[in-house]
Chains A and B, each alone.
Chain A
Amino acid sequence: MKSAVVLLPGLNRDRDMIAALTKISGTPPVTVWQTDTEIPDVDLIAIPGGFSFGDYLRCGAIAARMPVMRAVAEKAAAGVTVIGVCNGFQILVEAGLLPGALMRNTSLKFVCRQVKLEITNANTMFTRRYQPGQIIRTPVAHHDGNYFADADTLARLEGEGQVVFRYADGTNPNGSINDIAGIVNERGNVLGLMPHPENLIEAAHGGTDGRGLFESALGIAA
C-alpha cells in the first residue's frame, strides 16, 4: 500500500506518522511539501499533528489555504483515503473537507495525557479492525481540540454514523460537543481525529491500540 505524508512548516509529528506508516505498511510514505500542487498516486494521505504556521490566525487556517491542500481535496474527491491527526484534523476542518470547527479547550489548558476512546462506529474504513463500542487508549496533546458544530450538522453527523471516535469514561480532555474525538466525511474516506493513534502502534510505545486504525485504512490484515 502506498501512502503520502503532507509536510508543512510547524508540524512536529511528521516523523512519528512516517514511522508508523512505514512500520505498518512496510513501505515508507512519500512526502509532499506545502507548495506541491500534485500528490503522487497513493492509497492514503496523512496530515500529521503539530503547530503549522505557529497556529497563527486559527489552528490550521493558513495551512488549509496552501497549494498542497487543493491537491489533497482533489484526491479526497477522487476517493483516496485521507487521515488528519490533531493539527491535521484542524487543517481538514479549516479546508472544508470535514464539517464543524475545533476551538480552544474549555479548560484553556494544553492537555497532554492518555484518554480512553470508544469506537462509536466500527463500520468505517478506518475502524473495521475494531469491535463496535470497543474502548481503546490513545494519547492526546493539544490546546484546541474542542470540537463544535451547529445543531443541524451535529444531528447529521450523529444520524449518519459519522462520529467515529468518542472520548469515553469521562476522559474528554477538551470539552468537545457530544464527547466527539473523531469524525468522517459523508463519503467516509476522510477522517479527522484529535488523538494520536500513530503513537501507540508497537510494544515499545506501551501498547498497540492505535495500530488497528492504520491496518483498517491500509486494508492490511491484523
Chain B
Amino acid sequence: MIKARITVTLKNGVLDPQGKAIEHALSGLGFGGVGAVRQGKVFDVELAESDKTKAEADLKAMCDKLLANTVIENYSVTLT
C-alpha cells in the first residue's frame, strides 16, 4: 500500500478572504509580524498500489479531475 499527501493551495493572485480573516485573527491574538496567510487543503490518501510511478500518475489525475480546481488552485503530491 502507498500513502500519499496531497496539498491544495490557492494560486497567486487569487483573493483568499478566509486567509485574510485568519491573518487578522492572528494579529489580534498578539502574534506580531504575521505577513500574508493563505488557507489550503490537505488530503491523505491510501492507495492499494505498489508501483510508485503509477501511484503518482493516478494521484495527479485525481487532483486534475476532482481534488483541485485548477482554475484557482495549485496542488502538490508527496508519497509518504
Residues of A within 8 A of B (CB): 57-58, 61, 65, 94, 99-101, 103-108, 146, 148-150, 175
Number of residue pairs A-B, CB distance < 8 angstroms: 36
A13→B13 CA distance, assembly (Å): 33
Partner pick for B21 among A101, A103, A108, CB 8 A cutoff: A108
Listed by A's residue number, 16 A-B pairs whose Cβ atoms lie within 8 Å are: A57-B67, A65-B66, A99-B71, A100-B71, A101-B71, A103-B15, A105-B17, A106-B15, A107-B17, A108-B17, A108-B18, A146-B15, A146-B17, A148-B71, A148-B72, A175-B15
Closest chain-B Cβ to A18's Cβ sits at a distance in Å of 29
What residues of B have a CB within 8 angstroms of the CB of A105 in the complex? 17
What residues of B have a CB within 8 angstroms of the CB of A61 in the complex? 66, 69
Closest chain-A Cβ to B22's Cβ sits at a distance in Å of 10
Q: Which residue of B lies closest to A103 (CB)?
A: B72
Total B residues in contact with A, Cβ cutoff 8 Å:
11
A106→B18 CA distance, assembly (Å): 8
Partner pick for A57 among B18, B21, B66, CB 8 A cutoff: B66
Q: Which residues of B28-80 are within 8 A (CB) of A?
A: 65-67, 69, 71-72
Contact at A101–B72, with CB atoms within 8 Å?
yes
What residues of B have a CB within 8 angstroms of the CB of A100 in the complex? 71
Q: Which residue of A lies closest to B39 (CB)?
A: A104
Q: Which residue of A lies closest to B17 (CB)?
A: A106
A61→B67 CA distance, assembly (Å): 9
Tell me if B14 is interfacial: C-beta within 8 Å of chain A.
Answer: yes
What residues of A have a CB within 8 angstroms of the CB of B71 in the complex? 99-101, 148-150
Q: Which residue of B lies closest to A60 (CB)?
A: B69
Contact at A103–B65, with CB atoms within 8 Å?
no
Given A106-B17, A108-B17, are A101 and B65 also a contact pair (CB < 8 Å)? no
A175→B17 CA distance, assembly (Å): 10
What residues of B have a CB within 8 angstroms of the CB of A65 in the complex? 65-66
